[in-house]
Structure 1
């Protein structure tokens, strides 16, 4: 009887260990591992874990999902900033900075949209065709990140301190962080693809 119980315990442990080994390569673990290449890994995991089922262990899908998150937050921030032009008591300098930020965030949305379309249409592109498409994506995402930073620059300095600055900084900084993460994942996908295409070990 004791041997039977011991055998059951050993079998249970073996099944548990096998289950743990299988989960180590789950889509969620793939996302966590990939997010280590970003500047804000915790935010990266938080944003992308909900898309684990769609991402699976596909770096192309991972990069697309990251860009989609960035686009969604950029659109939300742009709409939020637009409402701030109607804040009562807004100072003339704040109003101008908000107007400039609206333009910047609009440009960011456009460029992120372009990058998603480009990355989505890449399909089985290889060689120089892949390099050309990837260069476009990287250029647009980098430009979107610059747009977001430019918006924040408009509120630099103590004279701009106030509730408007605090509200915009909180929203746009979050967009800039997810965009930075998306760019890192796009770059990682591009380098991994080119390395594997050349036959080298990643």
Structure 2
């Protein structure tokens, strides 16, 4: 029997994994008066203009306009939830890829490191969501304490995601592997960056 080349096996696996998609949050119902949805959407667009990736921000959060309404806190919570969901999806994707047969040792090591980094990012984002929920009266000592924790953890989560991508830099890495991982993790880093900007906005305008 003719032996299938290792590169072909990896390419087939990458293709199959690229077909796997996971949503960050279930799409909420849109049964709400049109004028209220429009007002909430305008609020999201205005808030997203302060982020680094405004188009992605609007696209990922507009479907949650009914829950967000015009609340900076709910907007930040939704942004963090989107980031957490996509981080989990990317982590599962990379973890599955790391078990591919025929993968070069350098690629496999980068995969394992990325899974660890993404695990840290997921933990920090989950903690951030819980912590943001504890914020009480604006400008109180408790409010500032909880928001500061959220800012610290989301910033650390973003560093974890960037560290994962850094592990695939350099010409020695497989281009197919690098492209497949970066496609997912870059998206996670972008929504996390947006979430951090919206948390910072909430800290200034609760």
Please show how residues 173-184 of structure 1 align to structure 2 within 5 Å.
173-184=186-197
Gaps of 5+ in 1: 1-19, 194-202
Q: For residue 134 of structure 1, what is the aligned residue in structure 2?
A: 147
Q: For residue 191 of structure 1, what is the aligned residue in structure 2?
A: 204
Please show how residues 23-172 of structure 1 align to structure 2 within 5 Å.
26-124=39-137, 126-172=139-185
Structure 1 segments of 4 or more deviating over 4 A? 22-25
Greater share of helix: 1
Alpha-carbon deviation of 1:123? 3.3
Alpha-carbon distance between aligned partners in 1 of 2:138 and 2:53, rounded to the nearest angstrom:
30
Alpha-carbon deviation of 1:124? 3.1
Alpha-carbon deviation of 1:26? 0.7
Contact conserved, 2:40 with 2:70, CA < 8 A, in 1? yes
- Which has the greater radius of gyration? 1
2:102 is paired with a residue whose SS is coil
Q: 1:94 to 1:147 in 2, by over 3 A?
A: same
Gaps of 5+ in 2: 1-33
| TM-score normalised by the chain length of structure 1 | 0.82
Alpha-carbon distance between aligned partners in 1 of 2:88 and 2:130, rounded to the nearest angstrom:
16
Equivalences, count: 173
Q: 1:42 to 1:179 in 2, by over 3 A?
A: same
Aligned-residue CA RMSD (Å)? 1.6
